[in-house]
Chains A and B, each alone.
Chain A
Amino acid sequence: MNGAPYGRWLPWNASEHGGQIDSLIDVIHWFMLILFVGWGIFFVYCLVRFRQKPGRNAAYELPKGAASKYAEVGVAIFEGFLLFGLSVPLWSRYKTAPPPPEKRMDVTAIGEQFAWNFHYPGKDGKYGRLDPTLISSSNLLGLDKDGDPAAEDDIVSPELHVPLNQDVYVRIRSKDVIHSFAIPAMRVKQDAVPGMEVPVWFKPTRSSDEFREAMAREYSLDQPTPLFNKKKAGLILMEDYPASGEPVAHKGDALVNATVEKLLAAGIKTVRAAPRATMEVVCAQLCGMNHYSMKAPLFVDTPEQFEAWKTAQSAEIEIDLE
């Protein structure tokens, strides 16, 4: 795959099943194009050939010929193929055969106005009890840390981290209104309906690093209004600066004002940078006034990155407990 992950057609696909969805979309659009162009040629021919001219009357006899019948039957047969050959098998494979518990990573995505929170079961593999009466601004999910031992090691995070090349099994829930858990890059979408818990699963096959490398751009630091100020996704540096000698800024540092000042002081005018979050979990169902802002960064980590992140999260939990 070339170019940028996001453009004016399908975004890069980063999941195992997504390729099949993309081919289905491609096949349908070729079919649509052929039908439209075919009919279009006939139609334009008629529009020109049969315009009103003095001395020529319209034909009362209707055109005969079975061409239109064949076309209609052809359309019906092809639609049947799309349906039973592609869509139904894909849906049933994708929706009825969850990956076995021992091979997958489990997480629960819980929507609320206007954020996603992710609940990981922790090392014991067991979700702690969630009690709506315990919900507060410091305990967004109402996790019962005092009452349920299984809750002790649970991780609650506003970011979704998943390991590369491993099945991810996400239970989708909502606290308040209907949301929709959508990851365009993964070809995943599932409504979060309050009172229901619906699972989705996918297997990430492309990492955040790969996306970030493709999204990296040169940014000028000394423009009056630097480009990256307009970017709503936070940018991070893709390299150490300066490349030789003692770096003043490191790969992965956020491109905030303090960093920019340091870089400018060191005489560096352009840097290569990319968004920190290269994929997003967004909300696809209108959920209120800030619906547009309801999104969470998604990171597809290498196994090492994923373990490091989990360890960091667990450390935070221990600080909390103390």
Chain B
Amino acid sequence: MSTHAAAQAHAGHDQHGSGHDHHAHSSWWRTYVFSTDHKTIGIQYTITALCFLAFGFGLMLIMRWQLAYPSDPIPLIGGLLGKSLVESGVLTGQGYNALGAMHGTIMVFMAIVPLAVGGFGNYVVPLMVGAQDMAFPRLNMASYWVFLPGGLIMLASFFMPGGPAASGWTSYPPLSNIATMGQTAWLIGMIFLITSSLLGSVNFIVTIVQLRAPGLSMFRLPFFVWAQFVTAFLLLLAFPPLEAAGVLQLMDRVAGTSFFMPQGLVVSQKLHEAVGGGSPLLWQHLFWFLAHPEVYVLILPALGIVSEVIAANTRKPLWGYKSLVYAALFLGFMSFIVWAHHMFMTGMGTTLSTFFQITTMIISIPSVIVLTALIISYHGASIRYSVPMLFATAFLPMFAIGGLTGLPLGLTASDIHLHDTYYVIGHFHYVVAPGTIFAMFAGIYHWFPKVTGRMMNRTLGLIHFWFSFIFINGVFMPMFFMGMAGALRRQYDPEAQLHAETVQGLSRMVSYSAWCLAAVQIPFVINFFRSIWSGQPASQNPWQATTLEWAAPSPPPHGNFAQVPTVHCGPYEYSVPGERRDFCPQFEAREA
């Protein structure tokens, strides 16, 4: 049926009825497991990614024990963890590094990107552009079914001799080249994950370009769609170099090549057998050529979600819609030429470092524009403090902290002291945790009624929001002070170094906050599952929003729309003077 759907999608939007009928007869497997429906795939991605998110967070909770109480046995679960991680209940140095590497990898490649793009993008973009599915439904299914094995390979590496990869999520050679077997599994897993993202990105671009509903010009697209559009280009252009680099490192490990191994390495007082002639820095260039655009892959969808939620809950048009779009495009472009600011300490001369400092300062300008536009959007509003709106509102200042603290890291001179300290950890976590993850929560609360046909509970949502807001700052704010004091990241023993002893109290505070943060996710989990079965039924457009996904029933059937919507206006026509209601949906013609 997938080719059928694809052909249909190309042909136009007016005959989805037959697709729907066809679907009704397909088997349980085709409907819920190997489905080509973008909504099913979106839900699969969301659930899988949320599980990985919880798992990646769990790894950090174990690490935080070691960081709060160095070399004390881990309570409760210490005895359950394998020998590759713990020794008589105490986390080992190798185990700590393994958990750290897997935390980063899982959070970036298996949790946030799949959630932001695979989950929200898949579910919402076709609805927002008024399409009945993605342009290539079968490719979409393949994307998920390549993603899942990639994730499972990563998880399986926990059971390999020597444990999982332990060379950081950045996997710098030569360390990663001489590491245990787990690193090979990491590379194979990464190749699957990257391939999955590539398949997805092509699909998004074609869907957004080709399958827009009649009347939906590019500048009538909701900002979320624009954000996904730019994100798709980033994935398409930035991931191939890392895929190539991953294959090269795999060859170094299994086929005896030495792309990243220089001559004359002496490991543990023995001359290493690698033939040499390779360059460790080559890996860093290839890695960061992906990994910097990757940062924008993590935040653009988040900015998109937040914009939708803010527009719907301020009941007024977004301020500077076009400048938001241009800023997103410019961010996307610039993100390709800032990568070496991750490498200022490798021995860079003035010319090169000046170039990358300039591009880094330039890329901060569109970020400032986006934040400014979103903040000004609150002026003159009629703010409805729904749960998603609270998450979106809290996103703004915390994302701003993440952005601002990038400044001293982006300038080489101040970076000398702050590079590789907890300041960096605080900086990028403010961008992706209180930033992106808060936006993800906003998105879940916002679109939950669309996906399930039921509302989430407000009281539980408020508990979840307020406590998360307090504790997540308790986790990341102290890190700036620790970094200032010089405390370095990736330290198994937080007190091993003189300058770090004085901030051990802060480190303990971070741990307590992290455990509390985990505890206050319980109301969310309860709310999530309880609302699926017994939440208050939601109408087609419970937030009285304007974009096309609210034209479909909740939940949307296969084929999405009972009737292909025609678009009559821009995406954020709220509180138009002289209108009966305070919102004019894109899909409704206005009386002249």
CA distance A8 to B268 in the complex (A): 36
CA distance A113 to B269 in the complex (A): 10
Give per-residue flags for B246-259: 1 if the beta carbon is below 8 A from chain A beta carbons, else 0. 00000000000000
Contact yes or no, A193 B280, CB < 8 A: yes
B557 interface residue, CB < 8 Å from A? no
9-residue interface stretch from A17-25, A160-168, A252-260: A17-25
Per the CB 8 Å criterion, the residue count for chain A at the interface is: 101
Cβ–Cβ < 8 Å partners of A76 in chain B: 365
Closest to B494 in A: A292
Q: Which of B487-544 contact A (CB under 8 A)?
A: 488, 490-493, 495-499, 501-503, 506
A161 to chain B, nearest CB (A): 17
CA distance A4 to B502 in the complex (A): 10
Using known A-B contacts A9-B484, A51-B383, determine if residue A191 contacts B347 with beta carbons closer than 8 Å. yes
CA distance A238 to B382 in the complex (A): 67
9-residue interface stretch from B44-52, B287-295, B400-408: B400-408
Closest to B97 in A: A289
9-residue interface stretch from A78-86, A150-158, A217-225: A78-86
9-residue interface stretch from B108-116, B147-155, B171-179: B171-179
Cβ–Cβ < 8 Å partners of B501 in chain A: 6, 231-232
B334 to chain A, nearest CB (A): 14
For this complex, 6 residue pairs linking A to B, each with C-beta atoms less than 8 Å apart, are A9-B485, A31-B407, A58-B575, A135-B271, A196-B281, A286-B167
A266 interface residue, CB < 8 Å from B? no
Contact yes or no, A136 B575, CB < 8 A: no
Give per-residue flags for A78-119: 1 if the beta carbon is below 8 A from chain B beta carbons, else 0. 011011001110111011100000000000000011000000
Contact yes or no, A58 B582, CB < 8 A: yes
Per the CB 8 Å criterion, the residue count for chain B at the interface is: 101
CA distance A40 to B398 in the complex (A): 11
A125 interface residue, CB < 8 Å from B? no
Residues in chain B within 8 A of chain A (CB atoms): 92-94, 97, 166-168, 172, 174-175, 178, 262-272, 276, 279-281, 314-317, 319-320, 345-347, 349-350, 353-354, 357-358, 361, 364-365, 368-369, 371-372, 375-376, 378-385, 393, 396-397, 400-401, 404-405, 407-408, 411-414, 416-421, 481-482, 484-486, 488, 490-493, 495-499, 501-503, 506, 574-577, 582
9-residue interface stretch from A240-248, A273-281, A301-309, A310-318: A273-281
Cβ–Cβ < 8 Å partners of B167 in chain A: 286
Find A292's partner among B93, B365, B384, B481 (CB 8 Å cutoff): B93
Closest to A53 in B: B382
Contact yes or no, B414 A177, CB < 8 A: no
Contact yes or no, B498 A132, CB < 8 A: no
Q: Which of A1-50 contact B (CB under 8 A)?
A: 4, 6-11, 20-22, 24-25, 28-29, 31-32, 35-36, 39-40, 42-43, 46-47, 50
A135 to chain B, nearest CB (A): 5
CA distance A89 to B293 in the complex (A): 28
CA distance A42 to B412 in the complex (A): 32
Residues in chain A within 8 A of chain B (CB atoms): 4, 6-11, 20-22, 24-25, 28-29, 31-32, 35-36, 39-40, 42-43, 46-47, 50-53, 56-63, 68, 71-72, 75-76, 79-80, 82-83, 86-88, 90-92, 94-96, 112-113, 132-133, 135-137, 140, 142, 175-178, 180, 182, 184-185, 187-191, 193-196, 198, 231-233, 275, 277-280, 282, 284-293, 295
Closest to B270 in A: A135
Cβ–Cβ < 8 Å partners of A113 in chain B: 267-268
CA distance A14 to B118 in the complex (A): 50
Contact yes or no, A51 B175, CB < 8 A: no
Closest to B366 in A: A72
CA distance A61 to B316 in the complex (A): 9
Contact yes or no, B575 A189, CB < 8 A: no
For the complex, would chain A's binding face be called helix, strand, loop or mixed by DSSP majority?
Answer: mixed
Cβ–Cβ < 8 Å partners of A94 in chain B: 413
Contact yes or no, A50 B381, CB < 8 A: yes
Cβ–Cβ < 8 Å partners of B320 in chain A: 62
Cβ–Cβ < 8 Å partners of A189 in chain B: 345, 416-417, 419-420
Using known A-B contacts A57-B315, A58-B582, A91-B353, determine if residue A195 contacts B279 with beta carbons closer than 8 Å. yes
Using known A-B contacts A39-B400, A50-B382, A136-B269, determine if residue A291 contacts B365 with beta carbons closer than 8 Å. no
Closest to B369 in A: A72
Cβ–Cβ < 8 Å partners of A25 in chain B: 408, 414, 417-418, 484
Contact yes or no, A292 B175, CB < 8 A: no
Cβ–Cβ < 8 Å partners of B381 in chain A: 46, 50, 58-59
Most chain-A CB neighbours within 10 Å: which of B384, B400, B582?
B400
CA distance A21 to B174 in the complex (A): 31
Most chain-B CB neighbours within 10 Å: which of A86, A135, A278, A292?
A292
Identify 18 new A-B residue pairs, CB closer than 8 A, beyond the known A28-B411, A62-B320, A284-B421.
A6-B499, A8-B481, A25-B414, A43-B378, A50-B378, A50-B382, A50-B383, A52-B383, A58-B382, A59-B316, A60-B577, A88-B354, A91-B350, A182-B488, A195-B263, A277-B498, A291-B490, A292-B490
